[in-house]
Amino acid sequence: MMRSMWTAASGMKAMQFNIDTISNNLANVSTTAYKKEKAEFEDLLYVTMQNAYSGVDAQRPVNLQVGHGVVARATSRDFTAGNLEQTGNKLDMAIQGDGFFAVRGPDGNIYYTRDGSFKVSMTEFGKMLATSKGYPVLDQDGFEIFFDGDMEDYDIQPSGEITYRDPETDISLPTGQSIGIFKFDNPMGLEAVGGNLYRSNTATGEPILNIDTENPSIVRTGFLESSNVQIVEEMVRLITAQRAYELNSKAIVTSDEMLQIANNIRR
C-alpha cells in the first residue's frame, strides 16, 4: 500500500508538469511564431516478483511485475508552421519552410528565431535591421544589416536577398547582403531561452545556410507567422490531465484508507 501512495504521487507530479506545459501553450496562443510544446513521460523502475520462463515440466508465459509510477522525460516542441497573418509592414517577415532568422544577443552569442517582426534601429553606424529589443538581425555571413538612404527603396526578395531600387531608373540592384536564414538537422534540440529566441547546441548540429539545402525556405515580407497553438486541442489535453491528477489523488486517499483498516485490525 505504501508503494501505491508513492506511485500515485509520481503520477500527480507528472500531471502537474503536464498542466504547466499546457498552460504555457495557452498563455502563448497570441505570441508571434510560438511553437507549442508537449510533455513526454516514461514509466519508472519495475519490481519483478516472478520471471517468465519455459521448461520441460512447467512454464510461466508472463512476468509478474509491479511498477513505481511515472516521470517526465522530455518536452518536445512542434515546429509545424503557424498561419501567416498579413500586416502590410515591409519589415515584417515570415518564413515559409523550416528555416530560422539569426540575431545577435546582448551577450554576443547568436540566437535563432521565427519571429520576423523586425524594426529599424538608429545606430552610430546607420540604420540597422533589428528585433523589437534592438538585437541585430544577421545576414548570411553573420554580419549586421545596414541600410543607406530611404527604406522605401529597399526590397526583400523571397530568397532573402536584399535589393536596392534606384529611384531614377526603377531598377533593382543587389546589395550583396541577404537575410540570414538557417536550418538544423535536429531542430527539436533547440533550447528556448525566452524572447522568442532559441539557442543551438551539439544536439542540433551546426546551422546550415538556407541556400545550401535541398528545399530552401522562402521569406514573405508584409506577413508574420502566428502561434501554432490550437486552443481546442490544448483544452482537451488540459481536461485529460486534470482528470488524471484527480484519479491519482483518489488513489492516495484509497491507499491511506486501506492503511487505516490494516492498523485497526488489532483493535
- Whether residue 242 sits in one domain with residue 179: no
Same structural domain for residues 149 and 205?
yes
- Are the C-beta atoms of 187 and 79 separated by less than 8 Å? yes
Q: What is the model's pLDDT at position 137?
A: 96
Helix axes 231-263 and 2-27, enclosed angle (nearest 10): 160
Same domain, 146 and 20: no
Same domain, 88 and 178: yes
Give this prediction's pTM.
0.86
Residues 190 and 141 in one domain: yes
140, 92: one domain: yes
pLDDT band of residue 262 (cuts 50, 70, 90) is confident
- Same-domain check for residues 90 and 212: yes
In this prediction, residue 261 carries a pLDDT of: 86
Q: Write down the pLDDT at residue 126.
A: 86
Neighbours of 142 (CB within 10 A): 12
Mean per-residue pLDDT, 139-167: 88
pLDDT at 136 (0 to 100): 95
Whether residue 88 is found in the same domain as residue 75: no
Residues 94, 215 share a domain:
yes
Tell me if 69 sits within 8 A of 7, measured CB to CB.
yes
Question: Which residue, among 149, 154, 111, 153, has the nearest Cα to 133 in the 3D structure?
Answer: 111
Residue 267 banded pLDDT, cuts 50, 70, 90: low
pLDDT over threshold 90, residue 100: yes
C-alpha–C-alpha distance, residues 63 and 228, integer Å? 43
Strand partners, 46: 67
Same structural domain for residues 113 and 72? no
Domain of 238, in residue numbers? 2-79+229-263
Fill in the DSSP letter of residue 137.
B
Q: How many domains does the chain have?
A: 2
CA 235 to CA 36: how far, in whole Å? Answer: 13
Same domain, 134 and 164: yes
- What confidence score (pLDDT) does residue 120 get? 92
Q: Identify the pLDDT of residue 266.
A: 67
Please give the Cα distance from 202 to 227 (Å, whole number): 27
**Same domain assignment for residues 221 and 237:** no
Share of the chain above pLDDT 90, in %: 67
The model's confidence at residue 256, banded by pLDDT at 50, 70 and 90, is confident
Q: What average pLDDT does the structure give for the chain?
A: 91
pLDDT higher than 90, residue 95: yes
**Rounded distance, CA 132 to CA 120, Å?**
9
Check pLDDT > 90 for residue 25.
Answer: yes
Residue 50's alpha-carbon distances to 30, 46, 126, in angstroms, are 53, 12, 75
Contact 136, 130 (CB under 8 A): yes
Cell output for 177: 547582403
Residue 225: how many other CB atoms lie within 10 Å: 24
